[in-house]
Amino acid sequence: MRMRAVVQKRLATIVVLTLVTGMGSPALVIGAQQAGPAAFPKITLTAGRSTVLPTDFDITRIAVTDPAVADAVVVQPREVLIDGKAPGTISLIVWGGTERRQYDIVVDPGISTLQQRLQALFPGEDISVSTNGDAVILSGRASSNAVSLRSGEIAAATAPKSKVINLLQLPGGAGSQQVMLQVRFAEVSRRALMELGVSLFTSPTGIKNTLGRTTTEQFAAPGFDGLESSKASSDIGADVTSAKGEFTFGDFLNIFLFSQKYDVGAMIRALRGRGLFQSLAEPNLIAYNGQEASFLAGGEIPIPVVSGISNAVSIEYKEYGVRLNFTPTVAGDTIRLRVRPEVSTLDFPNGIVLSGFRIPALATRRAETDVELRDGQSFAIAGLLNNLSQDDVQEVPGLARIPIIGHLFRSKAERAEQTELLVLITPILVRPLNPDEVPPLPTLQRRFLPRGGDLGEALEGGGGQIDAPELAK
C-alpha cells in the first residue's frame, strides 16, 4: 500500500508540473504554431565571413543543421561565433538554462574572386557570376563580342574543373545559335618517274663454252635453270660437246632483245612516267553553340592485331577518308571555331605484308587550330606544299667507270613528287526551315512507284501530316 501511494503521488506531481508549464507559457506555444519557421530571427552573412551572435542568457548547448554551409562555436558564455562557408540557409538552435532560441542563418555567395576580376578588367560591364554545382554561370549584358568571349575564357581559366555557361547578352538581341561549317579540301598531287638500266646475258648454252650475265640488281634480270653440259674429256679446257638449260624471267621489263644466232640478249629498263591527282571534297556540317560535331566521308580498313601469349589474332578497324571535327562558340555575329580537318588515303607502297596479307599504310594530312570569323567569312586554315625528290643509282664497281660502255653496267631511278593541299572554312549562322520553306527533293518521280494507298492517307481524326508542305503528286 505504501508503494502504491508513492506512485500516485509522483504521477500527481508530474500532472501538476505539466499544467503549470502549459499555463505559464501559452503565448509561446500559440506563437510557434501560428508563425512557423518564418518567424525565427534571420542572420545574414557572406561566405568566407564571420559574425558574433550575443545572447542575454548563459549558453549551455548549440546545434546547426549543416556545418558545410555555416558552423558555430561558443566563444563566451553569452556569445556564439558563426562562420559562413558556402551559400545556403540553415538553422541554428541555442539552449540556455531555462530558454531555447532558434535562428535562420542565410549565407550569401557575395562577390566572388572571379566577379571581382571581371569587374576590374571590364569596368562598367553588367556581368554577374554565379555557381551551381560544377558549373560557372555568366549572366548579364556585355557591350561587345570581345567582352563576352574574353569573359568566358577568363572564367574557364579561373575554374578549369568547372563547366562555363556563358549567358551574356549582346546588343541587338539573341541571334541564331546553330552554325553550319562549309569546308573545302583541295588537293593536287603531281609525280614524275624515270628509270633506266640494262642487263646483258647469254643463252643457257653459252657462247663458245661461256655463260654470262650482267645486272645491278636494281631491276629484274633473267636467270638460268636446269643447266646441263657434257665435255669431250675431263681435262681443263676441253670442248663442250652438248649443253642445255632454261631461262627464268621475273620481269621482261619494257625492252627485251635476244639473238638466237649469236646466243646473246639484253633486257632494257627505259621508262618515264608522269601522274596527276586532283581531289576536292566539300563536307557541310551543322552544330549547336558550344557542342562538338564530327563528320567522316570514307571507310574503314581491317587491321589484324596479334596479342596475348597464344598469339591470338584480332581485327581492328582504322578509319580513313575526309574527317571534320569542330566546336563553334557564337557571340553575336562572331563565331569562334576549334576546327580539326583531316584527309587520309590508303598508301599501299608503304604498307606491310603480314601472314600473306598486304596491309596498307595511311597517308594523313591533318590540321587543328582555333579561328575567329564573322558570319559568311572564309579562312584558309591549312596550306601544305610538299616536294619530294629521290635518286637511286646502282652500278658494277670498276666496269661502270669505263668510258662510253660503262653506262651498260649502271642503272638509276629518279622519282619526284609534289603535293599541294589547301583547306578553306566558311562558318554560316543558320536557322531551321519553316514548313513552307522546305525545297523539293531533286528526284524524278517516274523512277518510283506511283503514289496511292498510303497508310497515312487512310487515317481519320486529323492524323497524318500537319503543317507541312504538300508532297508532289
- Cβ atoms of 72 and 80 closer than 8 Å: yes
Q: How far apart are CA 160 and CA 137, in angstroms?
A: 14
What is the residue-averaged pLDDT of the chain? Answer: 77
At residue 382, the pLDDT reads 67
Q: Give the pLDDT mean for 343-372.
A: 82
Across-strand partners of 197?
269
Q: Give the pLDDT mean for 164-170.
A: 80
Q: How far apart are CA 197 and CA 264, in angstroms?
A: 17
pLDDT class of 50 with cuts at 50, 70, 90: very high
pLDDT class of 331 with cuts at 50, 70, 90: confident
At residue 12, the pLDDT reads 38
Residue 40 has pLDDT above 60, yes or no: yes
Sign of CA dihedral 120, 125, 130, 131: negative
Lowest-pLDDT choice from 29-33, 72-76, 235-239, 366-370: 29-33
pLDDT class of 466 with cuts at 50, 70, 90: very low
Residue 473 has pLDDT above 90, yes or no: no
Write out the three cell numbers for 185: 579540301
- Cβ atoms of 41 and 80 closer than 8 Å: no
What is the tally of helices (H) and strands (E) in the chain?
4, 23
Give the C-alpha distances (Å, rounded to integers) separating 446 from 2, 271, 443, 449, 450.
Answer: 114, 52, 9, 7, 8
Residue 11 has pLDDT above 60, yes or no: no
At residue 202, the pLDDT reads 85
- Beta strand 357-366 with 334-354 is antiparallel
- Cβ atoms of 296 and 342 closer than 8 Å: no
Q: At what angle do helices 26-35 and 2-24 cross, to 10 degrees?
A: 60
Q: At what angle do helices 145-158 and 113-121 cross, to 10 degrees?
A: 150
Contacts of 384 (CB under 8 A, 6+ apart): 365, 419, 420, 421, 422
At residue 64, the pLDDT reads 94
**∠ at Cα 344 (311, 317), nearest 5°?**
30
> How is residue 453 annotated by DSSP?
-
Phi, psi of 312 (to 5 degrees): -70, 140
At residue 62, the pLDDT reads 94
Q: How far apart are CA 139 and CA 169, in angstroms?
A: 8
State the virtual CA torsion across 122, 127, 131, 137 in degrees, nearest 10.
-100
Match 549547336 to its residue by C-alpha cell: 288
Instruction: Kindly report, residue by residue over 338-356, the tens digit of the pLDDT.
Output: 888 888 888 887 888 877 7
Give the Cβ contact number of residue 128 at 10 Å. 15
- Closest by Cα among 374, 331, 373 to 172: 331
Contacts of 97 (CB under 8 A, 6+ apart): 57, 58, 60
- Cβ atoms of 245 and 263 closer than 8 Å: no
pLDDT class of 181 with cuts at 50, 70, 90: confident
Write out the three cell numbers for 137: 554561370
At residue 104, the pLDDT reads 93
Instruction: Kindly report, residue by residue over 147-163, the tens digit of the pLDDT.
Output: 888 888 888 888 887 88
At residue 410, the pLDDT reads 85
Percent with pLDDT over 70 in the chain: 82
At residue 252, the pLDDT reads 66
Q: Give the pLDDT mean for 435-461.
A: 65
Q: Which residue did the predictor score with more confidence, 390 or 208?
A: 390
Instruction: Kindly report, residue by residue over 81-120, the tens digit of the pLDDT.
Output: 999 988 889 999 999 988 999 999 998 776 677 888 888 8
Give the Cβ contact number of residue 460 at 10 Å. 6
At residue 110, the pLDDT reads 66
At residue 75, the pLDDT reads 93
Residue 462 has pLDDT above 60, yes or no: no
Residue 464 has pLDDT above 70, yes or no: no
